[in-house]
Amino acid sequence: MALRICCDQPCKKYPPCRKLRRLEQILKILEAYIKLVKNSLNLLSFPVGSFACNCSILFSSKTREALIIDPGNDQDFILNAIKQLDIKVKKLLHTHAHFDHIGRSSEISTETGATLHLHKDDQFLYEMLPQQGLYFGQKVGAPKPIDFYLEDEETFSFEDEEIKTFLKTLHTPGHTPGSCCFYTEYFDSPHLFAGDTLFQQSIGRTDLPGGNSHMIIKSIKDKLLILPEDTTVIAGHGPETNIYFEKKNNPFLC
């Protein structure tokens, strides 16, 4: 079962989006969601932190194992959600090392014991987290070392026997050198967690350190547009989209 709360812009699919912005309201949804889930693999996506980074929690309703893609920069919110969902977070995966996606992962890792995963080409940005935090007006200490470097095509599994190799890593450099997307075919339609590589009718900016405008287009065309057209794209910020819509309507790709 997949529940996606997209709050940045009004959308027809989820009309109450704007009303869901407040933390308490989202947590109420979480509580109700826990009572509903029956499937083995579940997905909960919602914006978190001052820049509304779309965070995704994948978890097994059988074993309660979980992994989080882009926990963002608000550890109180995420730790509260983990408590409400009563899940054991094993891994924190990151699409890239910008502060709004990874800013409080060290704290979340310390609290939960979850391992930190990031592509090695973003290590230089990760080491700059204290400076990035200042840019966002937030004080950040030196981050914990990354436990595992993400590899292209690397897959992830849960101990739940019904959920094996459910998630695949796609290295998609361009927004940053170590940008990655994650892909799963476990739901009604495939899902792509695109980080800041692909947005609804837009692409990630490439004017920040390590960005490359040629590379991001190549990554999207070679790795993302070849995915099934009904793939739901959960972008790093803003509303969801799908591969078919972007092929037809994204001005950067047409």
- Token code pair at residue 177: 């050198």
Q: Closer CB to Zn ion, residue 65 or residue 100?
A: 100
Q: How far is the CB of 50 from Zn ion (least distance, A)?
A: 11
- Find the shortest distance in angstroms from Cβ 54 to Zn ion: 9
What's the min distance (Å) between Cβ of 209 and Zn ion?
Answer: 11
121 binds Zn ion (CB under 5 A): no
201 in Cβ contact with 249 (< 8 Å): yes
Q: Which of 236, 242, 246, 250 binds Zn ion (CB under 5 A)?
A: 236
**Least distance between Zn ion and beta carbon 182 (Å):** 15
Cβ proximity to Zn ion, 133 vs 236, nearer residue: 236
50, two tokens: 């001052």
Least CB distance from residue 77 to Zn ion, whole Å?
16
Please say which residue, 42 or 96, places its beta carbon nearer to Zn ion: 96
Helices 105-112/75-85 angle, 10° precision = 30
Residue of 76, 70, 82 lying closest to 122 (CA atoms): 70
Q: Which CB atom, from 61 or from 103, has the smaller least distance to Zn ion?
A: 103
Nearer to Zn ion (CB atom), residue 98 or residue 223 = 98
We find the least distance from the C-beta atom of residue 98 to Zn ion, in angstroms, to be 4
d(CA 103, CA 65): 23
Which of 65, 70, 74, 196 is close enough to bind Zn ion by CB under 5 A? 196
Give the range of 13-21, 55-63, 108-116, 229-237 binding Zn ion by CB under 5 A. Answer: 229-237
73 versus 106: smaller Cβ distance to Zn ion: 73
| Minimum CB–partner distance for residue 226 and Zn ion (Å) | 23
Q: Which residues in 79-98 contact Zn ion (CB under 5 A)?
A: 98
In the complex with Zn ion, which residue's Cβ is closer, 55 or 66?
A: 55
Report the C-alpha gap between 201 and 245 in whole angstroms: 8
The contact pattern for Zn ion, residues 97-116, with x = CB under 5 A and - = no contact, is -x-x----------------
Work out whether strand 232-235 and strand 191-195 pair parallel, antiparallel, or are unpaired. parallel
**Cα–Cα nearest to 31, from 96, 90, 103, 80:** 80
Binding residues for Zn ion, rule: CB under 5 A, are 98, 100, 196, 236
